[in-house]
Amino acid sequence: MYSDKVMDHFQNPRNVGEIEDASGVGTVGNAKCGDIMRIYLEIDDEGIIRDVKFKTFGCGAAVATSSMATELVKGKSIREAMLVTNKAVMEALDGLPPVKVHCSLLAEEAIHAALWDYAEKNGIVIEGLERPRSDISEHEEEAAY
| Active-site position among 28, 103, 110, 143 | 103
Rg for the chain, CA atoms, rounded: 14
Does 30 participate in binding ligand FES (rule CB under 6 A)? Answer: yes
Q: Which of 101, 103, 136, 143 contacts ligand FES by CB under 6 A?
A: 103
Burial class (CB in 10 A: 0-12, 13-18, 19+), 125: exposed
Query: What does DSSP assign to residue 6?
Result: H
Nearest to 74 by CA among 52, 96, 53: 52
Is 59 among the catalytic positions? Answer: no
Q: Nearest approach, Cβ of 129 to ligand FES (angstroms)?
A: 22
Q: How many chain residues are in contact with ligand FES, going by CB under 6 A?
A: 10
Closest distance of CB 35 from ligand FES, Å: 4
Q: Rounded to an integer, what distance in angstroms lies between the CA atom of residue 69 and that of residue 85?
A: 9
| Interacting residue ranges for ligand FES, rule: CB under 6 A | 30, 33, 35, 58-59, 61-62, 100, 103, 106
Q: Which residues participate in catalysis according to the annotation? A: 33, 103
